[in-house]
Amino acid sequence: MPIQKNRLKPNEYDANFQDIHPPFETKDAALVEANRCLYCYDAPCTKSCPTGIDVPKFIRQITTGNIKGSAHTILASNIMGAGCSRVCPVEKLCEGACVYNLMEEDPIPIAKLQRYSTEMALEKNWKLFDRKPAVGKKVAVIGAGPAGLSCAHRLSREGVDVTIFEKEQLGGGLMTYGIAAYKVTPGFCKDEVDYILSIGGINVKYGVALGRDVQLDELKKEFDAVYLAFGVGLARRLDIPGEELEGVVDAISFIYDIRDKGFDKVPVGDKVAVIGMGMTAIDAATQARRLGAAEVTILYRRTKDEMPCTQKELDIAMLDGCKVIWLAAPKEVIGRDGKVISLVADVMILGEPDASGRRAPVATGDTFSLDVDMVIKAAGQMPFVDLVKNAGLDEQGGKVRVKDQAITNISNVFAGGDCVNGGKEVVDAVQAGKDGAMQILRFLGMPIE
């Protein structure tokens, strides 16, 4: 059967894409879990959070019924704490560090408790942060993703006027457009962005792209400082024959379309191969299954020991019925009448460690073939090389090169998030935005320590 739209009935889409991490059903259920917390001194859960959320403090606030205080504790460190409670790979961050793991007991469900408090803050629109009176300084932020929003919110709290230029029609960046729909819904993402912007002093210009509609030279003159948080682009090319055939798609575009167009509008194959083993690859594979693909096979050129996704993410894919072929790299996509009919892959072995410190995959010379009608590319994302070079920024492999947290080679231009690091977790981008705001405040002569 060829690649096609609308394979399932509406109720099947609803069932397949319902919230994968449902909230506590009752207040008592939240309290039972919160009361298990040992309020550790020098808490490892806090140390393992890139934004340094004071986990024992917010959990204790839940136990005393101070949900507003709990939400403030979370959001003061991570303004996207509501979204992060749904999308963070907590098994390798806070929950993975919880001392209960050492006792071979279930860790405190920190993400679920964080969701409990922050969702209430969003639902009730609690005003937890005040904006200081305007100080007469203007900052332009490029990108309304996690780094841009975090930077803008921190600056606005200090009375700085912020204008965000966002190329899409909605804010939230990858949270809105690049994560599986069963983790966060478009409605939730919009609520979170609205909540962040409700502090005031932040004007968002949607549909405006740097390098196309606005130039860095103009912004440098018009604003006191510019913060670049334009993220990364489409999936890396495979650079193999057949890559241009109909049925070879980019994972980011595939996930974006599911979020933007709706489940029944996105074509999916009957037999799908996904290339890569990061979170984006897992999100693409699981969603292909949930859109109705009969078979989904994930190919990864290394072994399970080197996979970038967490075991929990892999478990989701396996439970969805996706198959994995380890030590396999795409070699050629075969087509007929311009459409994908199969994928030829190299069998790999691991050789000496490469620059990443992991053992490098090496082709053995043996190959195998998979009958597929769709290939989804999810082997990393490409930085916006031309954008960075044309703006006169120092670059490193297409990413913006910074020194000392967020400072670029241009005096009033700062940068952070995925356009600097090449793509990390949402929570890392939020912290980058905070770091960028601090550097900008220092530059403007308004240091906050």
Please give the size of the binding site for ligand SF4, defined by CB under 6 A.
14
What tokens appear for 71 in the block?
Answer: 């939400």
Measured distance CA(365)–CA(123) in Å, rounded: 57
Q: 343 with 350: CB under 8 angstroms?
A: no
| Phi, psi angles (nearest 5°) of residue 344 | -100, 135
- Give the number of C-alpha atoms closer than 13 A to the C-alpha of residue 408, restricted to the C-beta side: 28
User: Rule CB under 6 A: which of 97-116 touch ligand SF4?
Assistant: 98-100, 108, 110
Task: Among 45, 93, 299, 375, indicate the residue that binds ligand SF4 (CB under 6 A).
Answer: 45
Least separation in angstroms between CB 341 and ligand SF4 = 51
User: Closest CB to ligand SF4 among 99 and 208?
Assistant: 99
Least separation in angstroms between CB 100 and ligand SF4 = 6
Any long-range contacts for 62-68 (C-beta under 8 Å, 24+ apart)? 62/30, 62/31, 62/34, 62/113, 62/116, 62/117, 63/31, 63/34, 63/35, 63/37, 67/116, 67/117, 67/120, 67/121, 68/121, 68/126, 68/128
Measured distance CA(368)–CA(83) in Å, rounded: 41
Least separation in angstroms between CB 313 and ligand SF4 = 22
User: Closest CB to ligand SF4 among 102 and 134?
Assistant: 102
Site map (CB under 6 A) of ligand SF4, residues 47-66, x = contact: --------xx----------
Q: 58 with 73: CB under 8 angstroms?
A: yes
Least separation in angstroms between CB 43 and ligand SF4 = 4
| Cα 193 from chain centroid (whole Å) | 15
Q: Does position 34 bind ligand SF4 by CB under 6 A?
A: no
Task: Among 39, 215, 319, 442, indicate the residue that binds ligand SF4 (CB under 6 A).
Answer: 39
**How many CB atoms are closer than 10 A to CB 29?**
14
User: Closest CB to ligand SF4 among 93 and 285?
Assistant: 93
User: Closest CB to ligand SF4 among 111 and 266?
Assistant: 111
Backbone φ/ψ region at 299: left (φ over 0), alpha (ψ -120 to 50), beta: beta
Q: 364 with 347: CB under 8 angstroms?
A: yes
Least separation in angstroms between CB 31 and ligand SF4 = 14
Q: Is 258 helix (H, G, I), strand (E, B) or coil?
A: helix
Measured distance CA(360)–CA(303) in Å, rounded: 10
Q: Does position 40 bind ligand SF4 by CB under 6 A?
A: yes
User: Closest CB to ligand SF4 among 67 and 251?
Assistant: 67
Q: Does position 44 bind ligand SF4 by CB under 6 A?
A: yes
Using the rule CB under 6 A, give the single segment among 93-101, 128-136, 204-212, 421-429 that binds ligand SF4: 93-101
Least separation in angstroms between CB 46 and ligand SF4 = 7
Task: Among 30, 43, 413, 437, indicate the residue that binds ligand SF4 (CB under 6 A).
Answer: 43
Backbone φ/ψ region at 57: left (φ over 0), alpha (ψ -120 to 50), beta: alpha
User: Closest CB to ligand SF4 among 100 and 129?
Assistant: 100
User: Rule CB under 6 A: which of 274-313 touch ligand SF4?
Assistant: none
**Residue 203, H or E segment:** strand 202-206
User: Closest CB to ligand SF4 among 62 and 151?
Assistant: 62
Task: Among 15, 32, 38, 385, indicate the residue that binds ligand SF4 (CB under 6 A).
Answer: 38
Least separation in angstroms between CB 429 and ligand SF4 = 23
- By the criterion CB under 6 A, which residues form the site for ligand SF4? 37-40, 43-45, 55-56, 98-100, 108, 110
